[in-house]
């Protein structure tokens, strides 16, 4: 049943078939289609000659240009390193004071530090470096382990409670869980510690709290509660709290203890990178303090 009809609109013949009312015209493939078929195939043919393309039994056609993506990557990395090598090696060699004295090097530091911090530190400390619950702020003037360039460099190198053999180690005991202090004593010492940063509390509780503090806390946090950077024990008299300064959070801290963790960066960042971060951290802390 093949009755060819002519479509009045286009003047083309149908193929003579019909499926549930659908017919097809036998229109020739437009020239433009053949043209672009040829263009794309010729382009592909050219690329096949130029680039590695067809597999052979044990190798492949290498292409006239002799390109290889592995070599290209190595070249790219070499070029990228060459751009950085002059100033990066100087930063690695010089002490922080020396770098600060050199405006050209400081320009490199300022160029680089933001992305370096964003990709490596911001995940925990926040992109504004203001920290968050469990993660210290880096823009106040309080340094857990000290804010001098060498100390920051060391903290970055070995981390805190990390897997590095020289890692800085700090742990606050779980005074409640381990039965060192009864519940009520913890509540009293919470009031006392809060009073160190200026809150009000009844005088008798403060006296009792002071005694508990001296016997249990002062060995790390100091008699005045101002902390000890050698031990990584935070200052309790400022108004910044890593784990929160309200009654509930502080009770939780003293009851269950705390042990923060920061990875060691020695194997992940170069000396120059760590030095750049050190300078950056000192600068942002100083800027906010002003």
Partner 1 sequence: MMSNLTGAERGTAMIITGAGVLVGLAMAAVGHGDPMGTHGWIVLAFSALLFFFVGDKVYDPEPAEDRAASYYDDPTKVGIVIALAWAVVGMGMGVWVASQLAWPDLRFDAAWSSFGRIRPVHTSGVIFGFGGNALIATSFHIMQRTSRARMPDQVTPWFVLLGFNLFCIVAASGYLMGVTQSKEYAEPEWYADLWLVVVWVAYFVLYIRTLARRNEPHIYVANWYYLAFILVVAVLHIVNNLAVPASLTGAKSYSAFAGVQDAMTQWWYGHNAVAFFLTSGFLGMLYYFLPKRAKRPIYSYRLSILSFWGIVFFYIWAGSHHLHYTALPHWVQTLGMTFSVMLLVPSWASAGNALMTLNGAWHKVRDDATLRFMMVAAVFYGLSTFEGSFMAIRPVNGLSHYTDWTVGHVHAGAMGWVALISFGSIYALAPVLWRRETMYSWKAVEWHFWLALAGTVIYVFAMWNSGITQGLMWRTYTESGTLAYSFTDTLVAMHPYYIARAFGGLLFLIGACIGAWNVAMTIRRMPSETPELDYPTSSESREPAVPAAE
Question: What is the CA 214 to chain-centroid distance, rounded?
Answer: 39
> What is the closest distance, in whole angstroms, from the C-beta atom of residue 123 to partner 1 in the complex?
8
Q: Name the nearest CA neighbour of 236 among 223, 252, 255, 248.
A: 223
Binding site for partner 1 (CB under 8 A): 1-2, 7, 9-10, 14-15, 17, 19-30, 33, 36-37, 40-41, 43-44, 47-48, 51-55, 60-61, 63, 67-70, 80, 83-84, 87, 107-108, 111-112, 114-119, 122, 127
> What is the closest distance, in whole angstroms, from the C-beta atom of residue 218 to partner 1 in the complex?
39
Measured CA to CA, the distance from residue 176 to residue 251 in angstroms comes to 9
Q: For the chain, first and last CA: distance in Å? A: 93
- Three-class secondary structure of residue 4 per DSSP: coil
Q: Which is nearer to partner 1, 74 or 166 (CB)?
A: 74
Q: Which is nearer to partner 1, 108 or 274 (CB)?
A: 108
Q: Name the nearest CA neighbour of 95 among 287, 221, 272, 285.
A: 272
Measured CA to CA, the distance from residue 25 to residue 283 in angstroms comes to 76
Q: Which is nearer to partner 1, 117 or 241 (CB)?
A: 117
> What is the closest distance, in whole angstroms, from the C-beta atom of residue 200 to partner 1 in the complex?
36
> What is the closest distance, in whole angstroms, from the C-beta atom of residue 130 to partner 1 in the complex?
14
> What is the closest distance, in whole angstroms, from the C-beta atom of residue 93 to partner 1 in the complex?
17
Q: Which is nearer to partner 1, 111 or 166 (CB)?
A: 111
Task: Measure the CA dihedral 206/210/211/212, to 10°.
Answer: 100
Q: Which is nearer to partner 1, 34 or 169 (CB)?
A: 34
């Amino acid at each position: 049943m093949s009755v060819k009809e002519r479509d009045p609109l286009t003047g083309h013949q149908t193929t003579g078939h019909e499926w549930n009312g659908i017919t097809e015209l036998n229109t020739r493939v437009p020239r433009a289609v053949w043209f672009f078929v040829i263009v794309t195939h010729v382009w592909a043919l050219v690329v096949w000659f130029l680039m590695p393309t067809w597999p052979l039994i044990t190798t492949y056609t290498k292409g006239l240009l002799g390109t290889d993506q592995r070599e290209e990557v190595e070249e790219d990395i070499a070029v990228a390193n060459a751009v950085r090598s002059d100033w990066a090696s100087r930063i690695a060699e010089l002490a922080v004071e020396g770098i600060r004295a050199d405006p050209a090097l400081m320009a490199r530091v300022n160029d680089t530090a933001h992305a370096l911090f964003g990709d490596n530190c911001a995940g925990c400390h926040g992109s504004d470096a203001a920290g968050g619950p469990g993660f210290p702020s880096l823009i106040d003037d309080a340094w857990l382990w000290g804010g001098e360039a060498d100390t920051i460099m060391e903290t970055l190198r070995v981390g805190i409670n990390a897997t590095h053999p020289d890692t800085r180690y700090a742990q606050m005991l779980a005074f409640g869980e381990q039965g060192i202090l009864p519940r009520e004593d913890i509540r009293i010492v919470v009031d006392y510690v809060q009073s160190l940063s200026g809150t009000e509390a009844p005088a008798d509780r403060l006296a009792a709290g002071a005694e508990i503090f001296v016997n249990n806390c002062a060995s790390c946090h100091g008699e005045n509660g101002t902390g000890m950077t050698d031990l990584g024990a935070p200052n309790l008299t400022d108004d910044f709290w890593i784990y929160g300064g309200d009654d509930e959070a502080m009770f939780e801290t003293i009851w269950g203890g705390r042990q923060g963790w920061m990875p060691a960066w020695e194997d992940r960042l170069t000396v120059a990178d760590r030095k750049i971060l050190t300078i950056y951290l000192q600068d942002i802390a100083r800027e906010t303090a002003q």
